Amino acid sequence: MTTPASTEPTLEDFEHHYADVNGTHLHYVTGGSGEPLVLLPGWPQTWWQFHKIMPALAERYEVIAVDYRGMGSSDKPEAGYDKKTMARDVYELVRHLGHERVHVAGEDIGAMVAYAYAFAANHPDATRKLALWEVGHPGDVFNELRMLPQPGQPHLWWFAFNQVDDLPEKLLAGRYRLLIDYLIGIESTDPDAIDEASRNIYAAAHEQPGAVRASNAWYQTFGQDIEDARAYDPLRMPVLGLGGMNFGFVPALLEGKATDVRYVEMKGAGHYLSQERPEELTRELLAFLG
């Protein structure tokens, strides 16, 4: 076990580690035994967003929760935030751990990296099964999103806000908790499911030098991600697409992109499924992964 950074929370029976892969330094948390299962988190959180589902998953799998490039205690380099490069980071981490094939699951930005995983390394057989939720890899549907609020459609204003250079870092310095609370307030149907301690963990992670710049870069590369995806062949491994309040995006982004896919809508759920609906999400993942 490697001593975690002072800002990192601990989870019983899980260990913190670090690895140098693909020119960057990644932090990851492991526990359990069995077939390896890689978990990739979303914005604006860290690996900790999976803390409610990791113990149950670890009863059957070797769980590997990754802070990918730009997140948490991982490095925040100047470049490399297209999802193909980020997926290559994860692929090399998997090889570093001695695994040939893994299950991959991701939420939000993590879903984008998970989807790109099989292609970025040009080894589609490296993925046993893929689960993604809220929402999926950037596709042409992203180009149709409106700047102004539209009736019946989510207003994802932060897609534009995160495209701006420098200003978000200055506005959010020392105030990131305000954004955390705001996003949970509008993107969750059960805000109390994300407790005070977790909110502070996410805010502290984004107060680190370079953290806002790096997380903005995940969004600033969407144009490249969309272009990269046009060259991808359909996924051949089994795919599970889940969603709560943004479920509509999941089939829209997967249409024509996978040959063996099934969908599960968690009606009444918000965006943060791993924290709002941990038991239901765990049940669906276990049933799918087998």
Active site annotation includes 16: no
Sign of the torsion formed by the C-alpha atoms of 168, 173, 175 and 176:
positive
Which of 67, 75, 82, 108 does the annotation list as catalytic?
108
Nearest to 258 by CA among 285, 240, 281: 240
Cα–Cα dist 269/272, whole Å:
8
Active site annotation includes 75: no
Cα–Cα dist 71/76, whole Å:
7
Which of 176, 202, 219, 272 does the annotation list as catalytic?
219
Nearest to 40 by CA among 15, 77, 67: 67
**For residue 239, is the peptide bond before it cis, meaning its omega torsion is within 30 degrees of 0?**
no
Q: Is 30 left (phi over 0), alpha (psi -120 to 50) or beta?
A: beta
Which of 67, 225, 271, 272 does the annotation list as catalytic?
271
Query: 203 by DSSP, 3-state: which?
Result: helix
CA distances from 172 to 2, 164, 169, 217 (A): 31, 13, 5, 15
Longest dimension (CA), the chain: 50
Active site annotation includes 182: no
Residue 134 CB partners (closer than 8 Å, separation 6+): 42, 107, 108, 111, 242, 243, 244, 245, 246, 249, 250, 271, 272, 273
Residues marked active site are found at: 108, 219, 271
